[in-house]
Amino acid sequence: MTWRRLLLLGSASTLFLFLVFTLTPIVSPLPRYTGPHEVGVLDVETEVERRRIWDARIKETGEPAFDLNTLAITLYYPSIPRPKTPGTKQPLARPWLPQPISLIGTGYARMLGIHWPPAQSLLTGILWLLGSSTVIPGIVDAPLIPASDAILVDPEKAAIVEPSEPLLKDADESKEDMERLEVRRNPSGTDKLPVVVFSHGMAGMSQSYSHYLGSIASHGYVVAAVEHRDGSGPGTIEHYANGTSKSVWHLQLQDLEADPPMTLSTLKTAQLSFREAEILETINFFSLLNSNTDQQKIKNLKPDSPEKTLPTFSSRLDLSQITIIGHSYGATGALQALRRASKSKPQASKNNINLPTDATITGGISLDPGKASGPLNTHIPCPLLVLQSGEWTNKAPSTDFYGLGPHWRVVRDLVANVPSKKGWFMTIPGTAHPSVTDAPLIVPWIMKMVTGTTLDAKTALEEYVDVSVRFLEYLRSGRKEGVLASEVTSEKGPLGKEGERGVVDGEAGGKWEVHVVPEE
């Protein structure tokens, strides 16, 4: 054991232990959600009216590239734990990585320009090794939180008994009943639940933001994360009612053919139009779910995904309170869809969908909008919250944005000029573009090394959740609380002097630069 061997052995051991301890979250469950409720999780795919959003074809197969055939979403909703059947384990939500993992591995390989099958298999193996044990901390197909303020659970039958006042009184007073029935309280006594539609970013998936969305759901909201089929994700599978299926891969400009040929600008227009259609179809799905009857049963086309809980959403959704949220490419898509919040709704065309008559979009949250995802829709006829990461605000702040001036100023002016004058724009320093995703929680050391963040990943996500939930509560009550009650602290942001960039403390330990607040 020479000193060189000792040095080599010590260095290797130190590196190994460092990697083990810092990469442990890869094989550990994500943190519990921040709200008072348990969370149910359910993958749903349903048929929609088939329509062609953009006329282009995939060179590889000759198939249409932008045909909307089915709607795929992941539901996150406030729940109660499913009663346990004796001798069985409480089911966890599906794995964080969608199944089959080979689809996602191949999809990411194709995005990287890797088409050699052995190399694609190698990337799939790495994904399986690192992420196959990580699960979303919710319960698959768990019962929706009851409308009443209490429920009764019969552990022997693993059933939920709808309570009545006499039954609750009997359960409270009878020792025999208390041995059989367990009273569980709904802390909010919620009847109608407001709804949220979420649009993921480029190369993202519906579960990539599970902690952010699940935490919103844990505060009493029903959230649908769209699995976009616009060619922006790594890969997804469309399932049809006749039992067939088709893989949808990531699309780049060179993968498409059209007459006239598509440009990068028209590709973005096509994808954003596709996303808007999927967002509107999700709202239509909520409307159908809310009015669901035995004669109008929703068929879940997602393989091995249950549908037992779906009928219990009937008459439980508050469609007068719909919020659209998006991140990155999805943030730009959400801003585009928010034009549908106007009372003078545009007429549907063959490529588009109108809102149901019982649905109203009341607000939107845009997380890191614009930049490479295209110009921003400025017709926002509802309250708006724009949250930017420190990286998104500070990186190349003076770069021209589609001939309109610096990106930060374009976003500030968009929020300041919301017709309702009810807009917030703020930045959370120490964060990066992926900070609102699950990635920093799963691989914190890697993400910190790659992105250079200085704010703890869990703290950052708790801040995103807190401010978002405060905004959702504001839409319902009109009350400004937490950071939303702050005055402007950084009027010029990255375009001003360093000493002019004041901050306000967040609830979870982070700080916020507040650029725009509503006019009184």
Residues with active-site annotation: 328, 368, 433
Q: With beta carbons less than 8 A apart as the criterion, state whether 471 and 484 touch.
A: yes
Sequence letter at residue 490: S
Determine which helix (DSSP H) or strand (DSSP E) holds 515, and give its type and residue range.
strand 511-516
Q: Do residues 451 and 432 touch, judged by C-beta distance below 8 A? A: yes
| Sequence-ordered list of residues with C-beta below 8 angstroms from that of 420, at least 6 positions apart, any chain | 381, 382, 383
DSSP state letters, 52-74: EEEEEEETTT--EEEEEEEEEEE
Q: How far is residue 155's CA from residue 84's CA, in Å, rounded to a whole number?
A: 6
Q: Are 443 and 435 in contact (CB under 8 A)?
A: no
The DSSP annotation for 74-86 comes to EEEEEE-PPPPPT
Q: Residue 411 burial (CB < 10 Å; 0-12/13-18/19+)?
A: buried
The answer to whether the CB of 439 falls within 8 A of the CB of 461 is: no
Phi-psi region of 60 (alpha: psi -120 to 50; beta: other; left: phi over 0): alpha
CA gap 452, 294 in Å, rounded: 53
Residue 230 DSSP label:
S
